[in-house]
Amino acid sequence: MSRGHCILSHGFESGPDATKVTALAEVAQRLGWSHERPDYTDLDARREVSEVGDVPARLQRLVRLAADAAHRGPVVLAGSSLGAYVSAIASLQVPVRGLFLMVPPTRMGPMPALDAAPVPTSVVHAWGDELIPPAAVIAWAQARAARLLLVDDGHRLENHVQAAAHEFEALLQRV
């Protein structure tokens, strides 16, 4: 019997086998949560929609998956970068137990500013993020009293994958 279901969303121009979402999947599995890693690469390739692909379609794909999972039990959404953005926005449309956001963009072009349901939320961000200013993420997390881990890394968090996995584990144990 699963404790719940985690949907782990990769970042732009990444994939479902990306290092960070794979590490999160391993944590979920170990703690008794079922999990899935949607593949958004087809939507990321739609550069005729925007320079970061078809974000509205990515969001709708996640909402459909999360709504289906929510009928079966508790859901936690997690993601990196664009995956974090759609996870947060999807939480406004589907009941979730928690959110885990790695290097979340607070703005996404013409899409709404980053927002999320009032659920337990953990954020991992990098001081040296070259795409998303840490100050914007700090302010966003502070306004929601979200748990925030800031690390000395860049946008890919390549030197802090295990630290992110540890934070994800802490979130799953809280919800």
| Three-class secondary structure assignment of the chain | CCCCEEEEECCCCCCCCCHHHHHHHHHHHHCCCEEECCCCHHHHCCCCCCCCCCHHHHHHHHHHHHHHHHCCCCEEEEEECHHHHHHHHHCCCCCCCEEEEECCCCCCCCCCCCCCCCCCEEEEEECCCCCCCHHHHHHHHHHHCCEEEEECCCCCCCCCHHHHHHHHHHHHHHC
Q: Which residue has the higher pLDDT, 84 or 47?
A: 84
For each of the domains in the chain, give its residue range(s) and CATH number, in order of start.
5-174 (3.40.50.1820)
Q: What are phi and psi of 11, to 5 degrees?
A: -80, 175
Average pLDDT over residues 15-41: 95
Alpha-carbon 83 to chain mean position:
5
**pLDDT at residue 1, rounded to an integer:** 62
Contact 4, 22 (CB under 8 A): no
pTM score over 0.85: yes
Encoded amino acid at 102, one letter: M
How far are the Cα atoms of 105, 125, 131, 134, 164 from residue 66, in angstroms, in the given order? Answer: 21, 24, 28, 28, 22
**pLDDT at residue 101, rounded to an integer:** 98
Q: Is the pLDDT of residue 100 over 80?
A: yes
Q: Is the pLDDT of residue 36 over 70?
A: yes
Q: Is the pLDDT of residue 168 over 70?
A: yes
